[in-house]
Chain A
Amino acid sequence: MAAENITIAESEPPKIALWNDPQARALFFQIIVLGGLIFCGGFIVNNTMENLARQGIASGFGFLKTTAGFAIGYSPFLEYSEENTYFRALVVGLLNTILVAGIGVFFATVIGFIVGVARLSNNWLIAKIALVYIEILRNIPLLLQIFVWYFGVLRSLPGPSQSASVADSIFINNRGMFAPKPVFEDGFSVIVIAFLVAVFAIIFLKKWAKNRQDETGRIFPVFWASFGMLIAFPLLAATVTKFPMIWEPTALKGFNFHGGMEIPPELVALTLALSTYTAAFIAEIVRAGITSVNKGQTEASYALGLRPGPTLRLVIIPQALRVIIPPLTSQYLNLTKNSSLAAAIAYPDIVLVFGGTVLMQTGQAIEIISIIMGFYLLVSLLISMFMNWYNSKMALVER
């Protein structure tokens, strides 16, 4: 018996049939799948080439350099007219998307944190109101909410001559929101420089305060000092340069308001709907984050002698943020993607400008859809890169 075993152990491993060898199988499957993919891809590319040739549609991105010939209703950052190229129209659309996403993210975060904290309030009424807000807003489709804000609320406001006003300087009517516009005169750059100086000073102050605390244990009130510097430096600069900024007022002339800053109703409706809708989801994330921090953490930090303020700042918030930030970034990403619903109420974002007008004019579906998808993919790639960086920075350091 034993002798037999030894001979087996010393002999070559038994031959496996090729179709039972896991590695050969894996290789085989991958070749099959890759082949199928290439075949399908080839089929699609071939069909597309034929279809494009038959319909006489040009291909390539050359069209970006030709004249667009259509107007865009709202372009706050870039001068744009019908004589400009498609490329400039693309940039205008991109900027409009970024604008609406930026404002939306800001307000969604503010409302979301307020509602999320309110949901955990000791006050029964406040907690229930927050709950009702969350359950109503997140269970109604976003597009419907945009429609309600746009057609239901903003479009049914009175006309310019009867517009509602805040302190006779900001006017709201069915053509949008009109507010005074800041106009910067010579010397305003001094204020900007003063602000930047304050920012750099704060960075140094923070480093210095940390070093001093490490060495001597004395704490410097960094927050209030920074806050003061941030206000005082630009204010000082402004007094020296005699306030080089005036407000250009807006006023009713004829049938509409002129001068000042005009915010179209589409933008107002879109940001309102996006931020209140996303805020409902952010509120739930915030609530989950705060409840995830064990009560023992608070008690331990009190036991170490920390007062409630530092406990919140140094113990609770850092741990809650570790839970909050990853889903929060994905909500920001969702908000950015949802801003594409702008197309439904004719706010000129990238989808409406490019997927609507330009597609209609040029018929170059593949290039245009790829540009739009590429933009959104780039945004989500950047956000997920940030998330990975943040997660690795914040991950619990375990033994």
Chain B
Amino acid sequence: MNTQARTYEVGTHPDMLPPPSTVGIQGWIRTNLLSSPTNILLTMVAIYLIYALFPPVLNFFIFDAIWNGNDSSVCRTKEGGPVAAACWPFVKVWMKQLMYGRYPDAELWRINLSYLLFAGSVVAVTIPGVPGKKWTAIFLLFVFPVLCYFLFSGGSFGLSYVETSEWGGLFLTLVIAFTGIIASLPIGIVLALGRRSNMPVIRAMCVAFIELWRGVPLITVLFMSSVMFPLFMPEGVNFDKLIRALVGVTLFSAAYMAEVVRGGLQAIPKGQYEGAMALGLNFPKMMYFIVMPQALKMVIPGIVNTFIGLFKDTTLVSVIGLFDFLGMVQSASTNPEWLGFVNTGYAFAALVYWVFCFSMSQFSQHIERKLHTGH
């Protein structure tokens, strides 16, 4: 080994590689997992956590789970008790009820058609380069809900009438969530404008409305809509249970929407308002052409987040006796033949809710990054 230090002429020293312990997989492990005694301890704790949690979860969902079969007998042990893992035949057998409730078989095409229409329009709106975005959006926001109403309840255009008590499952969850969000948007915009208005009476009313709804839990709003609304109406006027729940959900989410929109309005610089006024625009024109397009674009992530919250909150309607997705899971697991498989139902429900909410939150973050054009 050459112990003598070599000397180089200035500028002739060869490039040297970094020490092997700081690059590649080895370097990564050293810096991220084993950089200090505390870090090593944390890594051990983490490995233990993974060891303790992941195998049981995987076993429950996949390896120990029963995949084939069409009745509950395949999922029972010799003693008759349920197996200690997921029993996917439970989901298979109840799939129709979990998805559509008790909606008549012959009429399911109406729901599927609406899903197709919705998916098609959303794709057309979100994918860049597809023409007619404006008209698709208008269709989605204004025409589609009306169309869905006639499709789902029937009773006209030769479609047979389907009572709302037969609606259920994931279908009902989606109906409530989407009605809530689409109906609450205009109300929320009006409330937000009212809250920023200079007229004291209107401002006070809007503040009172928003703070009232935001201060109480949704469950009390649903109770109120199911027991108090009938008292408010004149004799003989009787609203459907679903409509009452929808009114409650809409008013509730409108208050949250108003706060989201107000955030957007506050973020618009004053110069935009002054510029619009200097151009001689009146209030509706100023809002429509100048303020709202900027404000609403800014609050799209907030609207999506409100929607995620609303989507999760729709589970509460099972408390007032509507059979949404979770309500259907509950009721299926109380069926005498399928007693003891409630965990499978929850696992499936959790999976579905998670996929919906997670993809929406990723979408909202994507939009946020896209809109974040500043520095």
Binding site for B on A (CB under 8 A): 26, 29-30, 33-34, 37, 44, 47-48, 50-52, 54, 121-126, 129, 135-136, 138-144, 147-148, 151-152, 156, 337-338, 340-341, 343-344, 351, 355, 359, 365-366, 369, 372-373, 376-377, 379-381
B361 on the A face (CB < 8 A): yes
CB contacts under 8 Å to A, within B216-261, are: 216-217, 219-220, 223-224, 227-228, 230-235
For the complex with contacts A147-B346, A340-B217, A344-B319, 15 further pairs of A-B residues with Cβ separation under 8 Å are A30-B201, A47-B232, A50-B234, A139-B353, A139-B354, A141-B312, A143-B318, A144-B353, A340-B219, A351-B223, A366-B228, A366-B231, A372-B220, A373-B224, A377-B215
In the complex, what's the smallest C-beta–C-beta distance from B226 to chain A, in angstroms?
9
Cβ contact within 8 Å between A144 and B215: no
Tell me what chain B mostly uses at the interface: helix, strand, loop, or mixed: helix
Interchain residue pairs with CB less than 8 A apart (24): A29-B199, A47-B231, A51-B235, A123-B33, A123-B39, A124-B32, A126-B42, A140-B312, A144-B326, A144-B350, A148-B346, A151-B342, A337-B217, A340-B220, A351-B217, A359-B223, A369-B227, A369-B228, A372-B216, A372-B223, A373-B215, A377-B215, A379-B215, A380-B211
In the complex, what's the smallest C-beta–C-beta distance from B211 to chain A, in angstroms?
8
In the complex, what's the smallest C-beta–C-beta distance from B356 to chain A, in angstroms?
8
Residues of B contacting A47 with CB < 8 Å?
Answer: 231-235
Q: How many residues of B contact A (CB 8 A)?
A: 54
Cβ contact within 8 Å between A139 and B220: no
Distance of A5 Cα from B235 Cα, bound (Å):
68
Give 5 nearest A-B pairs by CB, closest first.
A125-B46, A139-B357, A380-B215, A124-B32, A337-B217
Cβ contact within 8 Å between B223 and A136: no
B367 on the A face (CB < 8 A): no
Partner of A355, one of B220, B315, B357, B361: B220
B35 on the A face (CB < 8 A): yes
Cβ contact within 8 Å between B330 and A147: yes
Partner of B361, one of A139, A142, A152: A139
Distance of A30 Cα from B206 Cα, bound (Å):
12
Closest chain B residue to A125, Cβ basis: B46
B116 on the A face (CB < 8 A): no
Distance of A322 Cα from B358 Cα, bound (Å):
29
Residues of A contacting B198 with CB < 8 Å?
Answer: 26
Cβ contact within 8 Å between B32 and A365: no
In the complex, what's the smallest C-beta–C-beta distance from A315 to chain B, in angstroms?
22
